[in-house]
Structure 1
Amino acid sequence: METASVQARPDTWRDPRKLKTQAEIQRHLTLLSQRENELSVALNEIISNRTGLDDSIRRLNTLVPKVKSLQQQVDGEVVPDENERQSVPVFDEFSDDEFEDEDYGLVERIRRVWVTSERVGGKVRKLDVEVSRVKEASERVQEVLELRSALQSLREAIPKGDWELATRCCKRAMDIREEVIESAFSARVIPTSSDPSPPPQALRELRQQLLTTFKREFEEASSKKDEQATSRFFKLFPMIGAENEGLEVYGDFVTGLVRGRNPAGGKPSSPLYYVSHLTSLLESIALIIDQHQNIVDKYYGQGKMKVVVQRLQMEADGFCKTLVEGWEDERRVGRLISETTQSRFDYLANPVQNHAPSNQYGATASVQASLTALSQAQHGLANLPGAATSLLAQYAGAGPKKPLAHTEEVPGEQPDGLEEEKTGPDPRDVDKIVGEMITLSGRWALYRRFVWNRLNSDEDEEKTPVEEKSDPAAIAERKESLSVDAIDASESQRVITNMLRTYYQPLEAWYLRTSVQKAHRMDTPDLSDRPHVSSVVDDVFYLLKLVLNRALTSGSLATIRAIREDVSKIIERDYLGVLQKKMDAVYSGGGAAIGLLGTNLPGANKEAEKEKREKELRISYSVLLNDLDLSANYTERLVDEMVSGGLAEQWFLEVEVPIVRAELKTLTDIATSMRTIAKAGIDQLFNQLTRPRLRTLLEDVYKGVTYLLDEDAYADAENEDVVRKRFIKGWEPLVEGYRASFTDTNFQTFFSMMVEVMVRPWEKMVLGMRFTELGAIRFDRDVRSVANYLSTQTEFGGGREKFTRLQQIATILNLDPDEDPEDFYGSSGIAWRLNKNEYDGIVAIKV
């Protein structure tokens, strides 16, 4: 019924005054009549069920006495009985006169108990307040007596020179609450006729007297180099609340030790002069921190050594700034920078036009010897006498560097036919300056790392979540919270950073470009080795390793980031770019100009000349492709070595190591570029030389071959095995030269490309043939024999997966005559590489 009423009810009742037409009035009237009928039916149903209503009312009336009883127990109210009301009762408000003589209800009883407890508890609390006041008065009297005793003992100890006793008495007085010291009661009780000063004033004067005495005695002891007396008075400062004053006089003391150290000798022109002076300064500061930190932490508290380090750093800043400015003038690095800006890199811009053929022997050794000789200065600077065993070197986390292997270079020797550009400074001078800058920066990085480790406890490291150690934002936030700002905000840090940014970064980039250009000029293909590669790969990656090692040794995040960007640009532009230009030159006929193609033999016939040039083209192009593949492998190996070799941990703070590793790992993008270029080059070589010959391979293999075989023809085919023999005969000449000249990766790419290009026409050829039952068996054996042969030619399987479609074709052709092809396609469980149309076409070609 309820559903019907809902259906009859209009969605929206309209105001009758808004009805304008007779049709609208009639429709509205109909709806109202329908609604009236629904309501009438509903009321009739309710009236007809009067018995149920009466039963519900009776059950409610039976509950009335129980409700009244509960109300009387809770409120203490008298509720009218059932005779006073004939229907469901409604509880009204009653006046106080109606239950004056009744028992108290639960609420009233609880209220009376609460009033009683408050009355008793108030008296107890009042008593507690009085007891606490008595106790507080007693404690204050005791503190006043303690203050009077401490001040009296302090006055007696000072004339005797018993500074330890005086310090303890002063500390006793200072430990008393300030409100007690300044109270009126203390002012009345403590002053005496001999010292009528109020207690606060008396304590301040006595403490100042002690502080003045301690400063004087400490300075006298330090000037006499009396270590026992110096340590004695240094410990007394924090006991009288004078930590800052104690650290101040101690800072003056240790800076005096730094100023009084024995300076390193030598002449400014010596390559070790400035490095020795900076090392002497930083080691003296590190020695002071190492020897004195435990004492400062013990008597002044953890972290107080930071104040001393700041004083020491202020002393070092002036010396470091003067040292670097003197180095700039002595080495005339500004002139070097100016000369590098005038350098031209004509060969890198046009390697084909500017190439001069180099001699066959000694080119690689010559450039390697030159580069190694240039690095010896860096090696010598990094292993100063005494530096490897010094306190700073212990925090480097690694032993001395091993000397780099080198070969002898004849001074002034120049390979035949090679004319170097004379623009720009001598690379050997630049290498020495770069090595000296890196050594100076490295000494500062070791000192910075030492201070970091000493001022930050191991507990801070253990509390650091693992996930925060690789998050750059968390690293930066944590770095700011730790004690290294005294170093990073120093003038010395600014000077070193400015030196690296202004001089090191542009000189290192110029040195790398110049050396890469020299390596390209002296590039010599080594055709006696397998696979064929040229000398430029080893030379360039020797340089790259040298540059990255120096950048890591700087210990500067900004420098690592800048050098990484420069290396990426130089390798992509001046190394990969030149290799690409050489590859283009091979195909454009300029291979002979860059020393990659030989000259034509006079009088050779046209066919022999074509084969010779094709072989030279293949070998020349293979060398360049192998250089790219080997370079990609070297790049990945070099990055792994840099990331896991421990150099980052040796020169950078622990929180900076993840950032350094992330920067180095971005260099692997270069390897990706190298492989992309190599893949494109293999495609070009394949399309130029191999694809045309692959087109005729299958035609020659299947010349005169049919799969419409009876038993005799099948037996003859089994004996002759024509397809396999012809395929091997035609395939081996195609891959013979490449197998010997390519690297494994390049040969795998090239071989897979050959198989894929060969298989597709084979599939189409099969669809145009007809097969008997024996012919299908013979076809299956031909496919398997070719696939097995190719798999034995390489270590990576020979592209067997590319024969999947041919093998599925053979499977369809060899279906049992009684088997339904449609059922086999849907229920065989084979992952079909053939679509349904191809499947149906193969079924149809079987006779």
Structure 2
Amino acid sequence: MPETLLHSVSVSSIFPSKPINFVQKYLSGVPAGRKNGARNSKDGKIEEKEEKEFDFSRKIRELRLELEIKKREEERIEKDIAIILEENTIDGGEQNRSFGLAVTRLNNNMLVVENSAKQLTSALKNISSLADTISGRVSALDVAKTRVVGCLQLAGDMRDLGVCAEGIDDAIRSEDFEIASQHIHRFLTLDQAVFQIREFKQKDATDSIRHSYEVLSSAKDRLSKILKSRLTEAVQKGDVAEMQRFVKLFPLIHEADEGLQRYSVFLNQKIDKLAEENLAIMRAGGTDDNRRNVLYADTLFMFFEGVAEIIESNLPVLEHSYGLEKLLDFMFILQARIDEFFRRLIEEFDTRRRLSHLNRQVADVVHHKKFTAPEGLEDVPDALEVDAIASEICMMNTSVEMYWRFVSRRIGKNDADLARSPSGDGDEEEDEEARLERQRLRKEAKEQKMDQLLNRSRVGTKMQELIGHYCLLEHFYMMKSVQKAIKSDAKEDVGTLTSSLVDDVVFIIRKSIRRAAGSGNVDSVCATINNATALLDTVVHGSLHHDIQSGYVTSSNFASEAFIAYQQGKQVKEAAESQKEQFLLAVNNSAKLSELLIELQKGLISEWAGVKRPAVEKNKLEHSTTQIEESARKLAALAKHGVEELFKSAFKSRIRQGLADPYQNIDRQMTMQDVEYYEAHDPFMEHFLAQIDRLLVENEPNLFPDNYQTILLLTATEIARQIEGAVAKCQFNRYGALQLDREYRQICAYLTNVAGWSAREKIGRLGQIVALLNVETVDEAMEVWHNSKTMTTSTIRALSLPEVRKILALRADFPTVAIKSIE
């Protein structure tokens, strides 16, 4: 705004309403910001007015200053715009024009797109409206189609109803019962809507349907009576063809259970006849005198074989007509006769074999005497008699298991067909879920029925009871046999290292375990293994431990005296010789028995791996076989304990006598000439190793290979310990350490040759000591020590820093200050 214009603005133009009051109010002599004085009125009332004062000139100055600032800002902006326009005009004018044209084209295209989008929206709305209309018409057509199909089906059912009613009487009169049953089956499977029509009031539409329904209902009752009477007559006559003809028709008239019951009469008669024949042969003593000890097992096997043949020859007829679901119900009907035969067989078995009495005797022995010898009890059963009965029970259980597997395989061979059911119309996903649910429920129901048939029947429950008796008998047999093996233990051949105890014990345990495995019952196998390992850990282990203890406890130095006497060919007392032999046999028997038990475990695992079993049974067997391995480890530990005691008595003192004094008599602060002389004339190492070798060679024939290997490792450990103790009492220089290294290599080569690479681990610590002594400086020793720490194994312990200082202190030529300062 120009400055003159601002001056031309009058006060009246700014405040046009009251110009005079304004002048009087704001242009008076009262300073700005102060209140006017109060004036008294005539009536004595004081009116106080507060008026605001306004400095107009100062406000004008502020506005002028702000205007000036805006003008300058305007001029600056105009200059910037001019500069930018000038630059664009000079350098980028063409680009601006191109950009402007592109923007214009984009705007035009956007207008086209907007119009097209509006047209598309309108078209989609039209299409959506048409689709709704078509969808409604299609839905109406579907409903109409469904109704038409239903009407056609109903019409077809009505026609079939009439056809069945017309042909049923002729079929029954002509004894064409197959056609008559098909008519009744069609009548019973018609839609219920057909029969609801007969309730309508329209006479023309319902008379024929009502008549057909009454005709077929009456015919169904007549046909049922005819089929029952004919099937009963065929059963009485034993006419298999007629029975199979009529039994097929009962499912068609929805009387499957009635057909199975009547047909089972014939099969039960055959089973009863088979049972009587087998029982008669059994009571006569069987057909083979050599198998009298398994007479009842053979009888049960022959009976089950005959029953399986009867079932196999008759089930195909029932399977085709009744379906797999009804076969299991049919087996329940037959199982009653099988249970009755089994009851009679077990009663005969219990009476003739005195099973109950024998079981009470065995229980008394096992529960009162545990694993000790039962000489104090009277009327102790014979182990051979128990062995025969246990074998027969296992054979009986094998026959039962084979029969159950036959039934399970024959009835459950088509589980998929059993669980399959037709799916109707509807959503496919819902049909699939419903089908799976039906399949699951029917499978569970079948499993429950199978469990009831196999485990809840008399055969299943009584056989489980017999298996319990078998486990007790097997335990007693193993206990008595092992005790007899220990009592009759003897060294059969002169050159053998073990006695008859090893073979007898392993044979007894292997026989019992494999007999239990042959029964087909996993629980009996696990119980037998548990009892066998208990005998190994108590009776066998206790006997061997007693022989070992009596060997090295009776005489503190008996082993050394016995071996010395044996080596020199002296005649020792018979008691001492027997004691020595007993000790060696116990040690060797423990090692050999441990080895054979491991082989037995591997053999059992290999045999059972080829048999398909449920996961639960596999886990049980796996856990049981680990107990055999545990018993083998205990026997191996016992053998090692005996060998250690033998080593202490006969080897340790001789190693100490042959090494300690001769080694310390050699001055280890040598010269070069001493080293060369000792290289040609060994001071003592060759003689010492010759003594050790003679001692080992003389005793090798008396020890089992595993025990001899233990002696070798103990010898290596003791040699290393004795040399380490002797080295700690010597002072070395560089040449003395070199001689020590030569001696260590001789020992290492000898022990590796006789004991293998495992002996190197036993003298590994000695090797670290020798390496530390064979260095030039303390720094080199520290480097060797650090390198040895990285190369140590779990069996070789690395030297600690205090030990390193002590070893380096044996070098007389190393400064003490340098040794103490190492870290």
Q: Deviations over 1:538-586 (max 9, x none)?
A: 1122221222222223333332333233222222222112222222222
Aligned to 1:370: none
Aligned to 2:757: 797
- Residue 106 of structure 1: CA displacement? 9.5
State whether structure 2 residue 460 is matched by structure 1 residue 493.
yes
Aligned to 1:438: 394
Aligned to 2:231: 218
- Residue 633 of structure 1: CA displacement? 1.7
**Equivalent residue runs for 1:53-68 within 5 Å:** none
Equivalent in 155, 165, 178 of residue 141 of structure 1: 155
Aligned partners of 1:157, 1:556: CA distance in 2, in Å?
55
Matched AA of 2:454 = I
Aligned to 1:518: 484
State whether structure 2 residue 800 is matched by structure 1 residue 835.
yes
Aligned partners of 1:458, 1:134: CA distance in 2, in Å?
39
State whether structure 2 residue 329 is matched by structure 1 residue 313.
no
Equivalent in 770, 794, 805 of residue 731 of structure 2: 770
Equivalent in 185, 198, 202 of residue 184 of structure 1: 198
Q: State the TM-score, normalized to the length of structure 1.
A: 0.68
**Equivalent residue runs for 1:93-104 within 5 Å:** none
Sort the Cα spacing of 1:130 and 1:307 in 2 relative to 1 into closer, same or farther, 3 A. closer
SS in 2 for 1:260: helix
Aligned partners of 1:480, 1:666: CA distance in 2, in Å?
33
Matched AA of 1:641 = G
State whether structure 2 residue 448 is matched by structure 1 residue 448.
no
Equivalent in 783, 786, 811 of residue 744 of structure 2: 783
Contact 1:639 1:668 in 2 (8 A): yes
- Residue 745 of structure 1: CA displacement? 1.5
State whether structure 2 residue 705 is matched by structure 1 residue 744.
yes
Contact 1:238 1:299 in 2 (8 A): yes
Contact 1:452 1:653 in 2 (8 A): no
Contact 1:648 1:661 in 2 (8 A): no
Aligned partners of 1:442, 1:528: CA distance in 2, in Å?
44
- Residue 677 of structure 1: CA displacement? 2.3
Aligned partners of 1:623, 1:123: CA distance in 2, in Å?
102
State whether structure 2 residue 314 is matched by structure 1 residue 275.
no
Equivalent in 180, 188, 205 of residue 174 of structure 1: 188
Q: Which moved more, 1:216-225 or 1:714-723?
A: 216-225
Aligned to 1:246: 259
Contact 1:285 1:312 in 2 (8 A): no
Aligned partners of 1:741, 1:644: CA distance in 2, in Å?
34
- Residue 284 of structure 1: CA displacement? 1.4
Aligned partners of 1:816, 1:458: CA distance in 2, in Å?
85
Contact 2:533 2:627 in 1 (8 A): no
Contact 1:148 1:190 in 2 (8 A): no
- Residue 834 of structure 1: CA displacement? 2.9
SS in 2 for 1:666: helix
- Residue 645 of structure 1: CA displacement? 2.9
Equivalent in 614, 618, 637 of residue 676 of structure 1: 637
Matched AA of 1:155 = D
State whether structure 2 residue 535 is matched by structure 1 residue 570.
yes
Q: Deviations over 1:765-822 (max 9, x none)?
A: 324433344433332221111111122224x436122232333333344446798444
Contact 2:499 2:589 in 1 (8 A): yes
Equivalent in 768, 774, 793 of residue 808 of structure 1: 768
Contact 2:559 2:649 in 1 (8 A): no
SS in 1 for 2:730: coil
Aligned partners of 2:367, 2:768: CA distance in 1, in Å?
58
Aligned partners of 2:645, 2:258: CA distance in 1, in Å?
79
Aligned partners of 1:588, 1:818: CA distance in 2, in Å?
50
Sort the Cα spacing of 1:477 and 1:153 in 2 relative to 1 into closer, same or farther, 3 A. closer
Matched AA of 1:429 = E
Q: Deviations over 1:326-348 (max 9, x none)?
A: 22122223332344456599999
SS in 1 for 2:248: helix
Q: Which moved more, 1:608-617 or 1:431-440?
A: 608-617
Misfit runs of 4+, over 6 Å: 104-113, 189-193, 344-351, 419-422, 458-461, 476-479, 596-600, 606-616, 652-655
Aligned to 2:601: 639
Aligned to 2:324: 302
State whether structure 2 residue 246 is matched by structure 1 residue 233.
yes
Higher-RCO chain (CA-CA 8 Å, sequence separation at least 6): 1
- Residue 157 of structure 1: CA displacement? 0.9
Aligned partners of 1:307, 1:144: CA distance in 2, in Å?
35
Matched AA of 1:328 = D
Matched AA of 2:791 = A
Q: Deviations over 1:416-439 (max 9, x none)?
A: xxx999751233332333233223
Sort the Cα spacing of 1:527 and 1:819 in 2 relative to 1 into closer, same or farther, 3 A. farther
Sort the Cα spacing of 1:210 and 1:707 in 2 relative to 1 into closer, same or farther, 3 A. farther
Q: Which one has the bigger helix percentage?
A: 2
Contact 1:144 1:180 in 2 (8 A): yes
SS in 1 for 2:281: coil
State whether structure 2 residue 385 is matched by structure 1 residue 429.
yes
**Equivalent residue runs for 1:16-31 within 5 Å:** none
SS in 2 for 1:780: helix
Sort the Cα spacing of 1:455 and 1:142 in 2 relative to 1 into closer, same or farther, 3 A. closer
Q: Please identify the structure whose Cα radius of gyration is greater.
A: 2
Residues matched between the structures, number: 668
State whether structure 2 residue 355 is matched by structure 1 residue 333.
yes
Aligned partners of 2:555, 2:357: CA distance in 1, in Å?
39
Matched AA of 2:393 = M
Q: Deviations over 1:696-741 (max 9, x none)?
A: 3321451532333323222221112234312223313543454222
Matched AA of 1:564 = I
Equivalent in 613, 620, 625 of residue 587 of structure 2: 625
Q: Deviations over 1:37-92 (max 9, x none)?
A: xxxxxxxxxxxxxx9xxxxxxxxxxxxxx9xx99xx89x9xxxxxxxxxxxxxxxx
Give the RMSD, CA atoms, in angstroms: 4.7
Which runs of no fewer than 5 residues in structure 1 stay unpaired? 1-50, 52-65, 77-103, 355-418, 464-475
Matched AA of 2:358 = L
Sort the Cα spacing of 1:454 and 1:535 in 2 relative to 1 into closer, same or farther, 3 A. same
Contact 1:597 1:617 in 2 (8 A): no
Aligned to 1:8: none
Contact 1:191 1:198 in 2 (8 A): no
Aligned to 1:583: 548
**Aligned-pair identity (%):** 22
Aligned partners of 1:812, 1:693: CA distance in 2, in Å?
29
Q: Deviations over 1:341-369 (max 9, x none)?
A: 56599999889xx9xxxxxxxxxxxxxxx
Sort the Cα spacing of 1:586 and 1:816 in 2 relative to 1 into closer, same or farther, 3 A. closer
Q: Which moved more, 1:695-704 or 1:119-128?
A: 119-128
Q: Which moved more, 1:694-703 or 1:718-727?
A: 694-703
Aligned partners of 2:574, 2:666: CA distance in 1, in Å?
34
Equivalent in 654, 670, 679 of residue 709 of structure 1: 670
- Residue 458 of structure 1: CA displacement? 7.9
Which runs of no fewer than 5 residues in structure 2 stay unpaired? 1-76, 78-106, 286-291, 420-442, 793-797, 814-823
Sort the Cα spacing of 1:127 and 1:524 in 2 relative to 1 into closer, same or farther, 3 A. closer
Aligned partners of 1:804, 1:146: CA distance in 2, in Å?
100
Sort the Cα spacing of 1:654 and 1:348 in 2 relative to 1 into closer, same or farther, 3 A. closer
Q: Deviations over 1:296-316 (max 9, x none)?
A: 333332354322322222111
Aligned to 1:528: 494
- Residue 161 of structure 1: CA displacement? 0.7
Aligned partners of 2:512, 2:664: CA distance in 1, in Å?
61
Sort the Cα spacing of 1:345 and 1:276 in 2 relative to 1 into closer, same or farther, 3 A. closer
Q: State the TM-score, normalized to the length of structure 2.
A: 0.70
Aligned partners of 1:587, 1:818: CA distance in 2, in Å?
48
Sort the Cα spacing of 1:207 and 1:637 in 2 relative to 1 into closer, same or farther, 3 A. farther
- Residue 527 of structure 1: CA displacement? 6.6
- Residue 121 of structure 1: CA displacement? 5.0
- Residue 490 of structure 1: CA displacement? 0.8
- Residue 753 of structure 1: CA displacement? 2.0
